[in-house]
Every structure is written in structure tokens, then in C-alpha cells.
Structure 1
Amino acid sequence: MPVCAADRLLQGVSALAVETATEGLGPLMAFGVIGALGVGSQLLAWRLRMPAIVLMLVAGLLAGPVFGLLDPARDIGPLMGPMISIAVAIILFEGGLTLNLHQLRDAATGVRRLVFIGAPLGWLTSTLVLHYVAGLSWESSAVFGGIMIVTGPTVIAPLLRSARLSRRPAALLQWEAIINDPIGALAAVLAFEVVLVLRTATSVGSAAVDLAVGIAVAVALGAAGAYGLVQAFRRGVVPEYMKVPLLFVSVLVVFALSDTMLHESGLLAVTIMGIGIANSDLPSYEELRRFKEQATVLLVSGVFILLAAGLDPSTITSLGWNAVIFVAAVILVARPVTVLISLIASGLSWRERALVALTGPRGVVLVAVAGLFGERLVALGVEDATRIGPLAFALVAVTVVLHGFTLAPMAKALGLTGGDRPGVLILGGSNWTIALAQALEKAEVPVLMSDPNYFHLVPARSAGIKTFSGDILSEAAENRVELVSFESVIAATDNDAYNTLVATDLAPEFGRDHVYQVTREKSDNARHSLPATLGGRKFGNGLTHDGWEQKLNEGWRFRVTRLTAEFTLEDWMAKWPDAYLLGQVGPRGTLRLLAPDEEIKTAPDARLISLVPPEEGEPSGPDAAEMPQDPVAPEKPA
């Protein structure tokens, strides 16, 4: 009798479970599990609006020490070491790729102080805490202390967006995380090189020579790799579709070549290489950086799951109260002392200095780099380096959870929030965008209107709408506009090309689901159609900029309608069957814009933002475009 497909599948699952329990997953299945746990944790964290590192830590610990499903040493074996080394090399290269010295020179005084004073001072204070509080040797403390400079650029961004900080403290925390990311890795690499030379050299003189040679070789190889790539890209020797693959291969070659010529110098070489490319003003730099960021997210997830699953339960339990005191000392002593000294006479208020001093979440980069250097130090004979990995996990877990729950209340208590409700950024000053902005403000949604043409914003300012005159993509906008206060963007100028440019550029910042654009003229024509990768989501039901203006001239107007138990969505649709439903404001004041044909899900007490036709007997023309609150059925008495 033939076995059905379900029976075969059940037998296969049973055989896999038995094989996993006896022999482990094997390399192929282990890679699949690591990828699923890492990327799955990131996706779930995005859905739950929480830091991904928390879920990755839980997933790694459950899969490894708790249930024993994944054991990297057993399932991957000798491949684990080279894999982590290459992943960390690419992570450090991406960190160097974010360090633009021109931006550093142009940065505000507070940012420069946090880099030039805060980085070395943070290295010192972290090293002292590690040695005197955690009880690590000077060698382990110096290496781990350098890594602790990094405050987690992958963690800071979602925390800032959820906490909705005002512009200046948010910029300080974000720029500190971005710039100190490669600096912290560089400090750890240099400290490790010193430990390596002191452990292997025969005398002080030879140690100094070995250290100088190691740094020189790594810098030379990294600079040569960056120079070669930059020249090849600038002269058009490499086609666009080959730039990213060549970049990856070059990183691997420089890392392997430097490590072969001089042991453990590869990480320094790829960091220097990244810094060299970041400061070369390549036209294609932004595309390279974004792709590298995506690759780094994947690699960081994998390394984090690997390290969490490979933690020794006995090592975790042996940390005890010593680890608790260490984490408390970092949060309450090392971080505040570093920041407060660095920001003396910086022009910041005491509230801003206090907020920055008490905010220092660490991220997956710290765990990945610390885990690698911990293993390297153990191989050199530094026995207490086995505690670096667990201490890094403890520091990351506590700081991410702590700041994730306390940053928003602390900022609100200090009066440093960018606004209680997420707002809308409208690009383009015209009659219909002003009417839309007034309707949104009537629904208590904050609005900022921007336009490159100063005179287009004169009527908006007269109507009391907040404005920014200039290009929203300019450095001036980056310094003056608190983008973190806005959740959605509507590109609605009279220039379709500019709308497409802005929507494409801001999509990674806001998320593609939150960037909208008015329909372009002739967009239905095949000769004028654009690929889905350009522009934003359609705003409204296919109306162009001129189409919106025409509707207002015909007497259409924006309305805010509150739904109740007596006046439901069905009642609204029956009353205005031809209306354009643009969005809805939930009971908590959050706005959800609606694309054409998007499913409408309303909650009780929601408010609808719509463009409705004139009713019979109403005047037409621009003067009729007012936004009265729609009459709705009265509430039933309790």
C-alpha cells in the first residue's frame, strides 16, 4: 500500500527530530536555523515596535543553552571561527564606511566633544570599571573597554523614534553612536594588538617594533584597498552591477592578506579601508553604504544568534552579583562621568546633558566584536577573557531593556520630547495642501509644510501652519527639522520629478509604507512610467497636483468626521459615496494614511480625513474649501 505524502512528511520530521537529538543539526540545517532566528527576530521586533536585540537574545538563549537545539561548536564545528571572523570584519568595515571626517568637522560642538573627549575618556572609565569592579585583568579590560565606547547605532535609532526626543539631544545620541562605532572598534583592535605583541614579543623593544610594523602594515593595506576601489569606481572601470560584489571581495582579500602577513591585523586593515572609502566623495557611495547596512544587519543577526547559542550556562551562572554591580557601575558612573565631563561648556542645558549622560544602550556590534576578541584573548592565554562574552551580553540586555522603557518617560519629565503625537510632513505649498494641513490640524495631527519656494509658503504661514522654507533634503533641513517628530510624508509639490526624488530619498528613513506622493502627470503612459523602486505610495485616488486644485475650485472640501456607534463607517460611505477617503486618526491620535483601494479598518471614536463633493446649495470655488467638523449622530445617553 503506497505511503501518502503526509505520512512521508511525518516520517521525515520524526527522523529529523531523532537525528537532531543524537547527532545535532549539521552545518546546513544550523545555517537555516540561525538565519530564521536572526531575521525572524528582527521582523517580529519591527512588528512589535521593540528593539530587535532583545528578541535575538531570547531566541539565541532558548535555542542554545536552554533547549540545546543549536550548539554552534557541535553543529558547525571548525567553520565557526572563520565565519565569525569574516562577519566581524565586514561589520567593522561598514562601521568605518560611516565615519565621514567632513561631517565630523561640520558636526556641532557637542558631537565633536563626545567624539574627541568622550571616546578616549569612555575607554578609560570603562577599563577602570572592568578592572576594579568586574575583576578582569588589565589586558581583558583594555580590549573590552575599547569596545564599550560603542553605544549601539542599530539600537539608538528605533529608541529615538519611539521616544520622540527633541532635535538636539536626539542628534547628539545618534551622531555619537554612528561616529563612535568605528572608533570603539578601532580602539579595541589597537588594544588587542598591544596585548598580542606584549604576549608574543621577547623584549620591550621588539614589542614596540612589532606593534609599529603591525599598525603600519594594516594601515597600508587598508589604504591601498580603498584607493584601488575608489580609482576603479571613478574611472568607470567597474560597471554598476559589479561594484557591490567587488567591494565585498576586496574586503575579504584585504582582511585575509593582512591577517596572513601579520597575525590579527586584518580587522584594523578593513576598518581603515572603510574610512578611506567613506571620505573619497564617491558618487555611488550612498548605494554602497545602504547595501552594506543591509548586509551588516544580516551578519550581525547571525553572529548574535551564534554567540548567544554558544554561551556556556556555567559561565552565565558564575557571573553572579559581580556582573550586576558591573552593569550598574557602567550605567550610573562610567557613562555619566564620561558625558558630563565631555559636554562641559558645550552650550547644552543641564536637562540635555543629563538625558545624554543617562542614555547609553549597547548593541549587537558590541557583542559580536567582544565575543571575537574574547576568544582571541583566551587563545593568547588570558584566562579571564572567557567572561568578556557573558559580560557583554549582560550589559547589552540590561541597557537595551532599561533605556527602552525609561527613555521616553525621562525625556518627557525633562521636557525634551519632540511632540506627544507623530505628525505629517507635507511638501509643497498650494491651496489644496494648505486646506489638507488645516484639516489634519483640526484632527489634532501636527503638520509641518515645506517648499523650496519661499513665496509658496506665505499663505500657509498666514493660516498659522508651521513651515520650513528650503529643500527638505538639504543639510539645513537635517539640522533644523526634527524629522523624528514626523511619521508620514506627503510629497505634493507642483514638480513631479522633485516629489519622486524626495519620496525615494526619504523612504529608508520613514519606511516606504509611510511615504506618499501625488500621482504624476502622464503616469499611465508607458513612456513616462517609473519602476516601483522610485517614488512613494499613491496619495488619494489617482489625483494629480492640478487635479487636487481643480477639485477645490469645484467646491470640494476636506472634512474631519468622527465615527460613533450611531454614525458608522457604513453611514459615512452612504452619505458621501463619491468622497476620497485619505486617512483616519485613531483614538490615540495616530494618523494612518490610506493608499487607493487599501482596506479600511476603523476603531470606535476614529476620525476620518476625506475630500467630499459640495452638497446641493453650497457655494463653489476656493472660498468654499473650509473644514467644518461633520455633524454626527448624538451619543446615546448612558
Structure 2
Amino acid sequence: MDEPSAAIAAVVGLGVAAQWVATRLRIPSILLLLGVGLAAGPLFGLLDPDELLGDLLFPVVSMGVGLLLFEGGIGLHRSELGSWRGVLFRLLSVGVVITGIIAAVAAHTVGGLPWGASIVFGAIMTVTGPTVIIPLLRQQRLRPRVARVLRWEGIWIDAVGATLAIVALEVVVVAGDGAVEITQAVLTTAVVGSGLGLLAGIGLAWFLGHRMVSDHMQNAVIIAVALAVFALANHFREEAGLFATTVLGITLANQRRAPVRHVIEFQESLGVLLIGGIFVVLGARVEAADLQDNLLPGLGVLAVLVILARPLAVAASTWRSRLSRNERLYLAGLAPRGIVAASVSALFGLKLEEAGIAGGTDLSALTFVVVAGSVVVYGLGAGPLSRRLRVNVPEPTGVALIGAPPWVVQLGRCLQQADVGVLVISTDEEEIADAQRADLLVYNGRLAHKDLEETVEALGIKLALAVSEREELNEFGSERFNHLLGRANVYGMPRSSEERSESHGGAGGHDRRELGQGLVGNDLKALVASGVTVEMVRREDFDPDRGTFFPLLSAKNGRPTVVSGSVDESAVWVIGLRVPTPDVVVPEPGPDESLAE
């Protein structure tokens, strides 16, 4: 593309589109991102990242990775790691050494790289990046402790591995020796980056906690601080910026002065843009000839890493830990390489060439083959392996009912009869007693507490219905479940037709989808007062033309669906409001009120 603006727009658009398609197809997004990058670059020549960004290419990629590590760090809480600190430490030390040595030997003997380039390759291959791990974890519902170890390892190994790769490059280029210099360099980088990240996190938490930054400016200020501390750390020590942004995120996640949940939501959206853009750009940089020459050697090196290096590293790191055999096997079967490995190899290949050391050109191509191959192998195998080893959590099918007036208790009982799990959220003593008498599980703790998140995860809650007579509970409950389940899975009823019109207007209204196809809270109160009850009928007995039954949800094999428009033909049960006589008028949904699933 000749127009830089068109090329940049294409990179962003292709990256987001690939991730959207991958989500719809339920396949790892990285697979499509690499494919799109290869198609746009070496296959069709539509995109030349070096021409587009020039000398800014690697700084932009590096800062993007730094923001991704910040996103990962801000989701890490000390309480999540618990007793697994020893496993994490060994993965970042013993595991890194084992992986680096085996990868270097494989690059020389199988990949054909000279020893100098092989040593650098071995250091690069210690990185199992969060840019691949985190999207995979979002798609695979793993047991919490397996997911936590993988998430913490993936985020920290980026900083450790990148630092080790820089040290290895320096050792090779200047023909330096020894373990002492390597250890000192790694520790210095870690201390500089972590120290700056910690100081920035403490200072930022103080500013936010004292309300010195207005709400609408907080996301921008936090991103600016993350970029500034990244650049400052790199100024003092190359690649210390990765440590700095990681520690900055962890510090904000574990302080109590200022809430950061809204920052996490913003960072997740930013992460989609960054992951998409960076992978498309790096995929487009690969030269077709270099890729072809290194394809078979790269696949051979990948086989060594998958079959030998990762299992040995995990075995040594998890020995005598409390992880089960299947959990250790799953850790051994998941170690994809990501953006850091791909971007660093391209830069280091150029530096090896400038220093007159053989193997610089092949280093980048061989690394890309291994990165792409690892994404394919682990991306396609993560799901089947988790099910085979039974380390995954079943797909959520439950419903959370926010509030429990009498008709909602009836709704909960009908859902239970349809084999749907139900969790009632209420703080009203009378509602709690009614729900418990109906054998419904009740959560009456604080909505902001982590106990709710753990309860929702343990029960496998899929949908949340804000149906309380107290609007403040609906509002706060909807906000909480938007974070836990996603906005597409949170439903509620407007209180009045005017409020419903505001909601459809866009900027105003509630941050939840509509339950009831036109029914509003005031109508519902009148209907309940007239004797309307909640009932469950079989799908074949449901007649939409009779006008005495108003459907709310349908269910099949214990899986609930909110009715929007017509009832699904494949449903087994239909749950809704039974009108006592045809004289009671139920509002008809308008033509624009159907919300597609």
C-alpha cells in the first residue's frame, strides 16, 4: 500500500477482524493473525512494515509489548498465586536454563545455525509470551491453579527471557565469558526495571487515591505513565522497560488506595488492538525465500522443544509440588512462543550481521518458523489436551438472579426444574428466606468482594438477570456482572417506557441487554398484582398466538437462552409469565426490539 494512513488502518482493521473471526469460530486468534500477516506481506506484497514504520518499527513493537505486559500485570493478584510461588520461581530459573540449553543445541545440530547464533536463539526461545498464552487462557476454561501458573509464567518470562537474550547477544558479539557476567546483567536489569515500576506504581496509586486525576482522565494518565516508565527504564538499562511495566501493573493490582477495574477493562480493549496490529506487522516482515529455506529445520527444532525441552523444564520445576500429575502434564504441553521472540530475533539477527557473525539472517527466519509452528501446535492442541487431562472447567450454564421478589423465586424454581443452575443475589432478609425455602442457592455477601467472583466461577454462571425491585441493586449488580460475564450476558428490565427509550437511544440508559421484549418494571408490577405467575411448558405445548403465556427464557439440556423474538425451535422448555385471563394485556414487542443472541 502506497498510502501510510491506509496501510496503518489496514493493519488495525485486519488485526481486529482476524480476532473477531477467531472468536466466532472458537479457534486461537493467533493462528489467523499470523496467516493474515503472511498473506499481506510475503504472499501478496500488500504491506511492507519496514517501509511503513522505518526506524520506528522495533520501538513501536517494543512499547506495544510493554503495554501488553502492563495489561497482564494489572490482572495479577498476590492472593491468586498462593503456594505456587516456588513453582513459578523454578520455572523462571531452572526451567529457563534447561529450555535455553536444549534450544541452543537443537538450533546448531538440527537447525544448522553456527554456535554464536545458536546461543542467542536458545536465549530467545526461553520466552513463552503472554501475547499467546493470555488469549488461549481466555478461550480455554482451565482449573484456576493451572491457569494462574501459566499466566504468571507467561508474563514474567517475557521480561526474564528478553533480558537473557540481550545478555547472550552481548556475550556472543564481544566474545565475553561467563556465568558471573550473565547473572550480574540479568539481576541489574531486573532491579532497575522493577524498582522504577514499583516507584511509579506507588506514586500513581497515591495520585489516584487522592482524587488528583479526574475519572475521564485516569485511563489516559495511566497509559502515559506506563509508556514513560518503560522508556525511562530502557534508558538506564536495555529491556528493563519490560520489567518496569510488569511491576507497575502488579503494583496497581495489589494496592487498595484506588480502584483499577475500569483500567483493566480499557486495557483489555487496547490489548486487542495491540496484539492484532503487532502480529500482522511481524508476519508481514518475513521474507518468503528465508521462510522456505528454514521451514524444515525450524520444524525439527520445534519438535525438540515440544517433545524434550518443555517437558524436562516443567518436570524439574514442578518436582515435589502439589500440582497433580495431569496438571503437570498440561503445563508440559503448553509453551507457545509469541511477539517478543519474533520481534527480538529480527533485531538481533541484524546486530549479528553488523558484528560479522554468521547466522544472523537465518536466526530471524528460523525463529519465525518456530514461533508460528508453536502457535499452531499449542493453539490447536490446548483445548483437546485440557479435556483429555480433565484440567478444564465445564462450560458455564447457570443463571444469576439479581434480586428475589416472589415471581423471581418462581423463575428460579422453574430454571432448576429445567436442570439450570441458579444463584440468587440479594441482601434483603425476606427475599433470602423465600429463596432458601425454595431450595435456591443464595449469595448475600458484598458484590465487590472476591467471594462473588469465586462463587460465580465455581457454579459456572453464564447469564445474569437484573430483576430486583431495588434499582440500586440492579445497577451495581449489572456493573459487577458486566465485568465477570461480559455485557452481552447481562440482562434487565427498564423501570418505565421512558427509561427504555433512553436505553435504546445509545448513550443513555442501562448498561445491560433487555429482558422481556418490551416489558418494563411498572408493567410487571401490575401484571404480578393481577395474578400473573411464572410457569414452564414444553416447547411443543407453547402457542405464541394464544396470548396467555409470555416467554422469558428457553432451555435445552440445562443450557438457558434469553428469548428475544421467537422461541428457538430446538428448545425443550420455555419459561415465562402465565397470564390468568386473556383480558390481561401483555405489551407487544416492537419491530426493533429483538436482540440477536
| 1:180-230, Cα deviation, whole Å (9 max, x unpaired) | 233111212331342254356686688877666655544454444434433
1:301 to 258, 261, 276: 276
Distance 2:393 2:194 in 1: 42
Letter paired with 2:286: L
1:499 to 466, 469, 474: 474
Structure 2 gaps, min length 5: 584-597
CA 235–197 in structure 1, closer or farther in 2 if over 3 Å, else same: farther
Distance 2:571 2:226 in 1: 56
| 1:569-601, Cα deviation, whole Å (9 max, x unpaired) | 7xx1221x2543212335x6642213xxx4336
Tell whether 2:374 aligns with 1:395: yes
Identify the residue that residue 533 of structure 2 maps to in structure 1.
557
- Where 1:426 maps in the other structure, the secondary structure is strand
Letter paired with 1:73: D
Tell whether 2:42 aligns with 1:68: no
| 1:148-195, Cα deviation, whole Å (9 max, x unpaired) | 6886112211222xxxxxxxx521233223322331112123313422
| 1:322-380, Cα deviation, whole Å (9 max, x unpaired) | 444544454454444555565556555545554x4365263xxx421112211232233
Tell whether 2:36 aligns with 1:59: yes
1:153 to 134, 146, 164: 134
Letter paired with 1:360: L
C-alpha contact (below 8 Å) 1:507/1:515 kept by paired residues: yes
C-alpha contact (below 8 Å) 1:146/1:191 kept by paired residues: no
Displacement of 1:59 in angstroms is 1.7
Distance 1:585 1:209 in 2: 61
C-alpha contact (below 8 Å) 1:471/1:477 kept by paired residues: yes
Distance 1:123 1:336 in 2: 12
Letter paired with 1:390: V
Identify the residue that residue 340 of structure 2 maps to in structure 1.
369
Distance 2:450 2:440 in 1: 23
Tell whether 2:517 aligns with 1:538: no
C-alpha RMSD of matched pairs (Å): 3.9
- Where 1:138 maps in the other structure, the secondary structure is helix
| 1:48-99, Cα deviation, whole Å (9 max, x unpaired) | 3333222222222222222222232344433323322222232233333333
C-alpha contact (below 8 Å) 1:427/1:451 kept by paired residues: yes
Tell whether 2:261 aligns with 1:286: yes
Identify the residue that residue 198 of structure 1 maps to in structure 2.
171
C-alpha contact (below 8 Å) 1:119/1:180 kept by paired residues: yes
Identify the residue that residue 18 of structure 1 maps to in structure 2.
none
Distance 1:612 1:370 in 2: 61
- Where 2:338 maps in the other structure, the secondary structure is helix
Question: So what's the TM-score if we normalise by structure 1?
Answer: 0.76
1:139 to 113, 120, 132: 120
CA 326–468 in structure 1, closer or farther in 2 if over 3 Å, else same: farther
Displacement of 1:554 in angstroms is 4.1
Identify the residue that residue 357 of structure 1 maps to in structure 2.
331
Distance 2:475 2:237 in 1: 49
Distance 1:467 1:41 in 2: 41
CA 609–211 in structure 1, closer or farther in 2 if over 3 Å, else same: closer
Identify the residue that residue 553 of structure 2 maps to in structure 1.
583
Identify the residue that residue 71 of structure 2 maps to in structure 1.
94
C-alpha contact (below 8 Å) 1:30/1:76 kept by paired residues: no
- Where 2:534 maps in the other structure, the secondary structure is strand
Identify the residue that residue 205 of structure 2 maps to in structure 1.
230
| 1:17-67, Cα deviation, whole Å (9 max, x unpaired) | xxxxxxx43422211211111011122223333332222222222222222
Distance 2:39 2:443 in 1: 49
C-alpha contact (below 8 Å) 2:129/2:154 kept by paired residues: no
Distance 1:86 1:72 in 2: 16
- Where 2:93 maps in the other structure, the secondary structure is helix
Mean alpha-carbon deviation: is it higher for 275-284 or for 370-379?
A: 275-284
CA 511–407 in structure 1, closer or farther in 2 if over 3 Å, else same: farther
2:579 to 605, 613, 621: 613
Distance 1:180 1:389 in 2: 22
Mean alpha-carbon deviation: is it higher for 328-337 or for 507-516?
A: 328-337
Distance 1:556 1:39 in 2: 46
CA 394–208 in structure 1, closer or farther in 2 if over 3 Å, else same: closer
Distance 1:281 1:93 in 2: 18
Mean alpha-carbon deviation: is it higher for 216-225 or for 372-381?
A: 216-225
CA 446–359 in structure 1, closer or farther in 2 if over 3 Å, else same: farther
Distance 1:525 1:608 in 2: 25
Distance 1:184 1:476 in 2: 30
C-alpha contact (below 8 Å) 2:206/2:257 kept by paired residues: no
Distance 2:277 2:283 in 1: 10
Distance 1:210 1:124 in 2: 15
CA 455–471 in structure 1, closer or farther in 2 if over 3 Å, else same: farther
Distance 2:266 2:386 in 1: 31
Distance 2:202 2:446 in 1: 33
Displacement of 1:420 in angstroms is 6.5
C-alpha contact (below 8 Å) 1:451/1:471 kept by paired residues: no
Distance 2:466 2:305 in 1: 44
- Where 1:487 maps in the other structure, the secondary structure is strand
Distance 1:149 1:131 in 2: 22
| 1:582-634, Cα deviation, whole Å (9 max, x unpaired) | 12335x6642213xxx43363355543221112599xxxxxxxxxxxxxxxxx
Tell whether 2:483 aligns with 1:508: yes
Displacement of 1:389 in angstroms is 2.6
Question: So what's the TM-score if we normalise by structure 2?
Answer: 0.81
C-alpha contact (below 8 Å) 2:425/2:443 kept by paired residues: yes
- Where 1:574 maps in the other structure, the secondary structure is coil
Displacement of 1:469 in angstroms is 5.0
- Where 1:117 maps in the other structure, the secondary structure is helix
Distance 2:120 2:408 in 1: 62
Distance 1:34 1:190 in 2: 29
- Where 2:24 maps in the other structure, the secondary structure is helix
Distance 1:279 1:513 in 2: 28
C-alpha contact (below 8 Å) 1:147/1:184 kept by paired residues: yes
Displacement of 1:304 in angstroms is 0.5
Identify the residue that residue 3 of structure 1 maps to in structure 2.
none
Letter paired with 2:561: R
Distance 2:367 2:96 in 1: 15
Letter paired with 1:558: V
